[in-house]
Amino acid sequence: MNIRGALCCASLLIISASQPLQAEQDRSTMDLYGTHRAGGKAIPPDQQKEFTDQLSPGNLPLEFFLWQEGEPRYMPSSERIWHEAGHWAIRQQEIHSERVAAMSRGIDRTLSGETYTVRDNDSYLRLGLSNRYGKSGEMGLEPEVRFRLELPTLEEKFKLVIESDPDDLSSLSEQQREESLREDERASSFTTGALRYLYPVTDRWELSSDVGARLRFPPELFWRSRARSDWTISPQWNMRLDQRFFYFNTTGWGSRSWVGFGRRIQGWNFLSSSEARWVHEDRTFEVAQVLALDRTLRNRHYWRYRLGVLGESEPNWQTSDYFADVLYRNRLYDDWLFAEVIPSVNFPRENSFKANPTITLRIEMFFSGKGDL
């Protein structure tokens, strides 16, 4: 801001406000103390008038309104470096989000033969950095990368989907606690590419089938099919069904069945979900029962509380794990920069159901042309 201009404005404001302010002081401080006071000391009226006269434009010297060569005209900003760093980060997110969307549109147009596309696609790139502290005191920063490339316009009912770390071959224990696991505790990660065919049966059911391969050498071919449906079973309760079947040429076929019942409870979303997973190679059923409450506050703070129990059918039907966790997610900036805090505890059978507490800290950045992740 211009220093001298600010002082000029201040002097004018003082002169214009001095009379009403003095009248107000006469009505207030004079009644209480018998005279005007400042810092506990009385201010004589002649000194008050002398102070305002000194700041009047007519009494200021001519040099006050002139600038000498080399004299600074503006106050330097103390937040300039932080502002520049923030603007740079925002600009980089916008540039790379558009690149992700442009790459998806470009490949889509090339393969589909269309010169212009207007359909939405769910392509994204997610970069994260997490740190987990456990009972044994282990700590360490771990980078995280997740991506999805979706090409929706190959044909009216086809999509080409390339994604990292699909959950078909992950156990239910890993899927339920995926947010608080270290990289070495996860199953081997892999990327898949698949051609997805969408075939609507009714307005209520969504059906799709994929044919693709795990992108590694040698490639592993797979097929999977999925059916989903939402039902309103009462004015308060909703139900969702999700059924999957899959086949990998190295591990055989399997299935996952999921059903959830949800409703609103005093501003919170309640969900009770049950899931069963079968992998033919293991000849084992895995089951999970999870209760969850979640809520978004002021479009920036997200809270979720969960209690769950896991079980398996081998060597006989038994409980394999209990767990509980709390997820707090804060939208740091716009809709692409987030921070998470996840305290959790689980009681695995393999550890005689002793408590295993952890806390996970994570920061994530999303790059997506859609902008609503």
Model pTM? Answer: 0.66
pLDDT of 32 above 50: no
Would you call 51 helix, strand, or coil by DSSP? helix
d(CA 50, CA 54): 6
What mean pLDDT do residues 228-256 have? Answer: 92
Residue 26 pLDDT: 42
What mean pLDDT do residues 175-198 have? Answer: 69
pLDDT of 88 above 50: yes
End-to-end CA distance of the chain: 40
Residue 13 pLDDT: 45
d(CA 64, CA 62): 5
What mean pLDDT do residues 45-71 have? Answer: 71
The closest of 241, 281, 288 to 262, measured between CA atoms, is: 241
Q: Looking at per-residue confidence, does 151 or 271 come out higher?
A: 271
pLDDT of 81 above 50: yes
The residue to which tokens 């003082």 are assigned: 14
What mean pLDDT do residues 309-317 have? Answer: 91
pLDDT digits (tens, 9 = 90+) for 110-135: 444 444 444 455 677 778 888 888 77
pLDDT of 278 above 50: yes
CB atoms near residue 227 (< 10 Å): 15
- Please answer whether residues 288 and 172 qualify as being in contact, where contact means their C-beta atoms are separated by less than 8 angstroms: yes
Domain architecture of the chain: domains with CATH: 3-69 (no CATH), 126-147+164-367 (2.40.160)
Rg, C-alpha atoms of the chain: 32
Residue 127 pLDDT: 80
CB atoms near residue 150 (< 10 Å): 18
Residue 3 pLDDT: 47
- Please answer whether residues 281 and 252 qualify as being in contact, where contact means their C-beta atoms are separated by less than 8 angstroms: yes
Mean pLDDT taken over the chain? 75
Which of the listed ranges 33-42, 178-187, 257-266 does the model predict with the highest average pLDDT? 257-266
